[in-house]
Amino acid sequence: MAKRRKLFETIIQFLIRACGYSTVLFVAAIFIFLLQAGLPALFEASPASLLGLRWYPIESLYGLLPLLFGSLVVTIGAAVFSIPLGVATALFIAEVAPRWMREVLKPFVEILAGLPSVVLGFLGFLVLAPLIRTTLNLPTGLTALTGSILLAAMALPTIVSVAEDALDAVPKSYRDGALALGATKWQTIWRVTLPAARSGVLTAVMLGIGRAIGETMAVMMVTGNAPQIRWDGLFFPARTMTATIAAEMGEVAGGSAHYHMLFLVAILLFLISFLVNIIASSMLFRAKKRAERMLS
Amino acid sequence: MVNLALAWAEAYAEVQPTVSISVSGGGSGTGITALTDKTIQIANASRAMKQEEIETAQANGVDPKEITVAGDAIAVIVHPDNPIDQLTLQQVSDIFSGKINNWKEIGGEDRPIVRVSRETNSGTHVFFLESVIRLGRNDDKTIFSADTLLLPSSEGITSEVGQNLNAIGYDGLGYITPAVKMLNLAANPAGPFVGPSKETALNGTYPIARDLYMYTDGEPTGWVKEYLDWILSAEGQEIVAKLGFVPIS
């Protein structure tokens, strides 16, 4: 009996370990595949042309900068809209709203997370884009700004939900202590609860941004996909890296320079999200260390 | 045209499961060369064979027979309230290449021009690039202005042009909806300005129209003949219309 249990234990342990390792293995395999398909592009186009300002595959113009610019503008725009709104909503739900309202609000926010991005993209195209064109008096409503707002709407539920969980996990004694010292409710929230939940809130923000930078469908429908760099780019059409891959991969001839170039864009995208993740986890790590120091 | 050839081949697999047709792309020249080399039975071409191509084929013992299988026309579209009704191809070229940036430069209202195009992987995009922006000149390397909106679907184009007074777009005639206005076009400033329709596309008076051909070696026989008859039938031409091309019957 004991022997059987031990065998069972070993098998389970092995399975769990395999699952853990496989995640790393998958990421590594994906990266190797990307490198294999994308690196030839570096030899097929000169570095100067990769730094060009024009992306037009028909004439073999593969300037990556406009795509990078498009992705950055749209993602930063989305972050600017979604972070303050998301954290504030989480604070309201966790700290201010009465119990019954909280029980209504949280599920609704989570339903928002389940909306397929195509549906949001459709709404954005038919409702948001014309609205932006008429209210801001722009030549067209299909702009980076439209994409930013849509992405913010997509990142919001993630940010709210994860941040609210983190705020909720802050021990009640912290708040009681602050209130007992004579802090107002606002001071308690801003100086005690939010800093205590900092690492969780940061995770929430990073997950939200992660969703924004990788999103494709909705962005492709509303940003106009014109590869251009301009200082007022937020109010004009932009072409993101994800939209470029999605739009062009379907028809490209396998093994051609254009095909390799699209994979090079994918490598770039992979590296960017990798970087965002590393920065996020190093920030979390530092925050945790400081908290430990303060407690000891 | 490769999309159309693929759609036909796929649909025909259900009509006649015993015949399997494989389609490969590469451009009209590739297909004609392959027919000359007798490596294929049918060559799809979006242009007529040139005289020297016919001579090369005959020297190789191939007798190319031409069958018109569909028409292709591109409509240039604007918002229904846009006062512009007609343009020359040169004007359309200057608009899309970025030389003309305001509607008042061509007699319209004082509004910025928003250019709307299909994505670069669409055959319509390439046809428009070659026959309008470059006006058919092979040595011309003019391309779309960088701020041209590249929309992934025809619905996107008609809906943006249909609700934005600044916009000008184009698409295959079969995709155009009543929500937009089609412009009359002329190859030279003296006219005549002709609007796109099934008739003007097929009789050649509309300047951005072409016929799509299939070439066979000698009169088609056997399964090739059956396939071509099916393509020209109502069922085959329905697929033509569905893909935004102009049916010939």
**ipTM for the assembly:** 0.81
Q: What is the pLDDT of residue B21?
A: 85
Check residue B248 and give its pLDDT: 82
Quick check: A263 contacting B, CB < 8 Å?
no
What average pLDDT does range B233-239 have in this prediction? 89
> Nearest-CA neighbor of B208 among B126, B146, B147, B152?
B126
CA A216, CA B227: separation in Å to the nearest integer?
A: 40
The domains of chain A, with CATH numbers, are: 39-295 (1.10.3720.10)
Of residues B182, B176, B184, the one with CA closest to residue B159: B176
Classify A285 as helix, strand or coil. helix
Q: For residue A228, list chain B residues with Cβ-Cβ distance below 8 A.
A: 146-147
Q: What's the pLDDT score for residue A118?
A: 85
Structure tokens at B226: 């059956």
Domains within chain B, CATH numbers bracketed:
2-71+209-242 (3.40.190.10), 73-202 (3.40.190.10)
How far is A254 from B40, CA to CA, in rounded Å?
22
Q: Note which residues in 54-113 of chain B have CB less than 8 A from chain A.
A: 111-113
CB contacts under 8 A, B 163-222 vs A, are 163-164, 166-167
The answer to whether A145 and A224 have CB atoms below 8 angstroms apart is no
Q: Which residues in chain B are closer than 8 Å to A253, comparing Cβ atoms?
A: 25
End-to-end Cα separation, chain A, in angstroms: 46
Pick A237's closest partner by Cβ from B129, B149, B156: B149
Largest CA distance in chain B: 61
> Is A54 exposed, middle or buried (CB count within 10 Å of its CB: 0-12, 13-18, 19+)?
middle
Q: Peptide bond before B247: cis, by omega within 30 degrees of 0?
A: no
Q: What's residue A44's pLDDT?
A: 84
pLDDT band at B245 (very low <50, low <70, confident <90, very high): confident
**Secondary structure class of B44 (helix, strand, coil):** strand
Q: Name, in order, each residue with C-beta under 8 angstroms of B179's C-beta and a sequence gap of 6 or more.
A: B80, B158, B159, B161, B162
Return per-residue pLDDT of chain A as tens, 296 residues.
678 888 999 999 999 999 999 999 998 999 999 999 999 888 888 778 888 888 988 888 898 999 999 999 999 999 999 999 999 999 999 988 888 998 898 888 888 888 888 888 889 998 999 999 999 988 888 999 999 999 999 899 989 999 999 998 888 899 999 999 998 989 999 989 999 898 889 888 888 888 888 888 889 889 989 998 988 888 999 999 999 998 888 767 767 888 899 999 999 998 988 888 888 778 777 766 666 665 54
Q: Give the H or E element holding residue A82.
A: helix A65-91
pLDDT at position B92 is 93
Residue holding tokens 């005549």?
A: B192
Distance CA B110, CA B84 (A): 12
Residue B159 C-alpha from the chain's centroid: 21
The phi and psi torsions of B60 (rounded to 5 degrees) equal -90, 5
pLDDT class for B210, splitting at 50, 70, 90?
confident
| pLDDT score for B112 | 92
Is the pTM higher than 0.90? The answer reads no
State how far the Cα of A230 lies from the Cα of B161, in Å rounded to an integer.
Answer: 24
Q: What is the mean pLDDT of residues B111-133?
A: 87
Please spell the DSSP secondary structure of A89-135, one letter per residue.
HHHIIIIIS-HHHHHHHHHHHHHHHTS-HHHHHHHIIIIIHHHHHHH
- The pLDDT-based confidence of B57 (bands split at 50, 70, 90) is confident
Angle between helices A198-214 and A257-295 (to 10 degrees): 170
DSSP three-state, residue A63: coil
Helix (H, G, I), strand (E, B) or coil at A231: coil
Helix (H, G, I), strand (E, B) or coil at B105: helix
Nearest CA in chain B to A138: B112
Residue located via tokens 């092995």: A14
Inter-chain contact A224–B146, Cβ cutoff 8 Å? no
Confidence of residue B19 (pLDDT cuts 50, 70, 90): confident
Residue B64, SS3?
strand
Please check whether residue B31 is in contact with residue B44, taking contact to mean a CB–CB distance below 8 angstroms.
yes
Q: Are the CB atoms for A53 and A66 separated by under 8 Å?
A: yes
Best probe of the A interface among B141, B163, B164, B166, by most A CBs < 10 A, is B164
Do A237 and A223 meet the contact criterion of CB atoms below 8 Å apart?
Answer: yes
pLDDT of residue A292: 64
Number of Cβ atoms within 10 Å of the Cβ of A10: 10
Per-residue model confidence (pLDDT) at position A25 = 93
Cβ within 8 Å, pair A140-B166: yes
Min Cα distance B201 → chain A (Å) is: 26
How close B82 comes to chain A (CA, Å)? Answer: 14
Q: Spell out the alpha helix ranges (H) of B19-144.
A: 28-36, 51-59, 89-97, 123-128
